[in-house]
Structure 1
Amino acid sequence: MHRIGYVLSQGFQMMALATQTVFEYANLAAGPAFYTLENFSEAGGDVRSSLGLAVDTRALGRGSRADTWIVAGVNDPVESPAEPGVLHFLRRRGLQARRVAGICTGGFVLAEAGLLSGRRATTHWAFARDLRDRFEDIRVEDDRIFVIDGPVWTSAGMTAGLDLALAMVEQDLGNEVARSVARKLVMPQHRSGGQSQHSEMLALAPKSDRIQAALAFARANLGRPLGVEDLAAHAHLSPRQFSRVFTAETGQSPAKAIEALRLEAARLMIEQSRHPMEVIAKETGFRDRRHLREAFMRGFGTPPQAVRRAVR
């Protein structure tokens, strides 16, 4: 029997509890029940969600045991820091479990407890910059649905927690059980951790019309070479001035931003079409299939073929 302990704090986000259904249906698909679930909190008793619904919990303490700890997030981790008792427990016992996970902004709790130090992690895209700024020793991968780094798992916001839970089921009980759960929950697919959680154009969010126009031009012409000179000319700026303004407004260099747009376009074509990889590479501005794969591994940590298999 695999014990899963959910760690809830006052104001926790209700969506975290939806992931418990993944384990419920895994028990049904596996035959004899494999998982047992229990809710915990700093002091025990009723804990109210951000919606106001109260959930009964057990107090965290020396006798608290779980094979997997899952920490629920809150709507705003900056305004609602982790509770001291929860941090104390996770520092002492978190990594003694087989796995410890943070759903959505639950990653901030793991970070405050020191469990993400030197590791890769993700969180809701709206708070990724806060996580990166507050914890400089964490490699924040804000374009991932979920990230697994050893025994520590983190997910992006809201429904991405379902993907994280389903990946746990697949690891524990195999692909067939995970597929059965996905079908019963009417999940469109088992999304791999490397899939994007937001649009690159939204993430870049330039302030000036000139930079917005240059990015729109780039997105419409990804199949052709796009140098700084091309973008600068479209923005009516010198290359040097364009690079400076672009980086100041988006936080990225033009080259990095263009590669991110190419990767997003390639990922969408892989997910939504049956085009060969050579065609996708050419259409999105990569030299060839090998160049596309290298960029995918660098950007998403997974090869393009894995994304296509997951979609199918």
Structure 2
Amino acid sequence: MAPDTTSQADRPARRLTTPKRIGIVIFDRCQIIDATGPAAVFGSANEIHQANGVSGPLYDLRMIAGRPGPVRTSTGVSLFADSALKDAVPPFDTLICAGGKGSLKFTEDADAIDDIRRLTKSARRVVSVCTGAYILAVAGRLDGRRAVTHWAHCRNLADRFPKVRVDPDPIFIKDGNIYTSAGVTAGMDLALALLEEDHGKALALEVAREMVMFMKRPGSQAQFSRQLSAQMAPRGNIRDVQIWLLDRLAEDISVETMAEQAAMSLRTFNRHFKKATGRTPAGFVQEARIEAARNLLEDSDLPVKLIARQCGFGDEERMRRAFHRTLGVSPQDYRMRFASLAPA
């Protein structure tokens, strides 16, 4: 058989099925990255796929707001809404609600919330980024489901919406067809996960590598550090014990040992610790160990087994379970994903 000498440019482009419609709900004083971050992930997937000789995009992206036209974000920069919520025609494959400083004000608009209910009813996937979770909660879409939001708002979300099972730990959560994410850049992590669901891991990793200049893992790590910092007691014995503990994560430290260090009875220590930090002592220890392990996975070539011992998990299996429970990935997958995003 004669070799095919037809150049890539001369070959007819392969046809693609109908692109998946993605609607991103924005509003005055929304957080710009909550909207543009996921949009950039799906948009980059379009560019990469079409560069491979495919005719037509994978995704059809649309910004939706209370009114069409410019929408001023919390940064002062405006985004452009393609259509008004009331004019948006379902079904969307995925509907994403951005968060930001204006999210609570947005939830006071009864007509807008009615439109959210209408659009989410037929969407295959319903997504919130950061405080966009409030929008879904007011619309009743989070009732009886696990959800997460920005760490600074988790307690308030749980207090305002007792039917929502708020879990403050994961970067993002999937419960049925509802996806919620933590603050800001976590929305991009979630968008990559959605892309992987749709078109496989290879394309998701290629998009992640393509976006390395925008997706800064140290920034994501700093957000997690602020979450841990927010759980530090402001002063006194509890804070002293926390600082003492952070220097001894490799040791097998029980809550009883922590109580002794604070010169309190176990019952008194548990009560004061929860009141000062909002977390149980055991929960704080676990989160501190996970953060220490994340730092080592990102910044060192140490074997996972050694990291598990140094961070106090005891063995690799216990660390794996802790990572899956908190971050939704294994330590190996976390390291691989971070390495794929690291600058050369």
Which category describes the TM-score, using the shorter chain as reference length? 0.7 to 0.9
Whole-Å Cα distance in 2 between the matches of residues 51 and 268 of structure 1? 30
Whole-Å Cα distance in 2 between the matches of residues 81 and 87 of structure 1? 6
Report the residue type matching 2:60 in the other structure. Answer: T
Does 2:127 match 1:109?
no
**1:243-288 deviation digits (Å, cap 9, x = unpaired):** 2211211122222222222222223223333333332222122232
The answer for the alignment partner of 1:183 in structure 2 is 209
Alignment of 1:246-265 (within 5 A): 246-265=273-292
CA RMSD, Structure 1 to Structure 2 (Å)? 2.7
Does 2:267 match 1:275?
no
Does 2:32 match 1:14?
yes
The answer for the alignment partner of 2:248 in structure 1 is 221
The answer for the alignment partner of 2:49 in structure 1 is 30
Whole-Å Cα distance in 2 between the matches of residues 16 and 253 of structure 1? 31
Whole-Å Cα distance in 1 between the matches of residues 81 and 284 of structure 2? 46
Displacement of 1:94? 0.2
Whole-Å Cα distance in 2 between the matches of residues 281 and 232 of structure 1? 25
Does 2:231 match 1:204?
yes
> Which has the larger Rg?
2
Whole-Å Cα distance in 2 between the matches of residues 100 and 224 of structure 1? 43
Instruction: Give unmatched runs, 5+ long, in structure 1.
Output: none
Report the residue type matching 1:304 in the other structure. Answer: P
8 Å contact 2:25–2:64 — kept in the other structure? yes
**1:112-168 deviation digits (Å, cap 9, x = unpaired):** 111112222221111111111112222223232222222222222222222222222
**1:19-76 deviation digits (Å, cap 9, x = unpaired):** 2222222111011312112222234444332234443441223651322111121215
SS of alignment partner, residue 22 of structure 2? strand
Does 2:188 match 1:162?
yes
Structure 2 residue corresponding to 1:302, chosen from 324, 329, 333: 329
Whole-Å Cα distance in 2 between the matches of residues 4 and 216 of structure 1? 45
TM-score relative to the length of structure 1? 0.88
Alignment of 1:92-171 (within 5 A): 92-171=118-197
Whole-Å Cα distance in 1 between the matches of residues 76 and 323 of structure 2? 42
Whole-Å Cα distance in 2 between the matches of residues 51 and 207 of structure 1? 31
8 Å contact 1:46–1:57 — kept in the other structure? no
8 Å contact 2:96–2:126 — kept in the other structure? yes
Structure 2 residue corresponding to 1:47, chosen from 71, 74, 81: 71
8 Å contact 1:195–1:300 — kept in the other structure? no
8 Å contact 1:179–1:190 — kept in the other structure? no
The answer for the alignment partner of 2:117 in structure 1 is 91
Whole-Å Cα distance in 2 between the matches of residues 122 and 196 of structure 1? 18
Whole-Å Cα distance in 2 between the matches of residues 235 and 300 of structure 1? 30
Whole-Å Cα distance in 1 between the matches of residues 31 and 200 of structure 2? 29
The answer for the alignment partner of 2:21 in structure 1 is 3
Displacement of 1:219? 0.9
TM-score relative to the length of structure 2? 0.80
Change (3 A) 1:95 1:216: same
Displacement of 1:106? 0.9
The answer for the alignment partner of 1:59 in structure 2 is 84
Change (3 A) 1:201 1:59: closer
Change (3 A) 1:150 1:35: same
Displacement of 1:237? 3.2
Whole-Å Cα distance in 1 between the matches of residues 96 and 296 of structure 2? 34
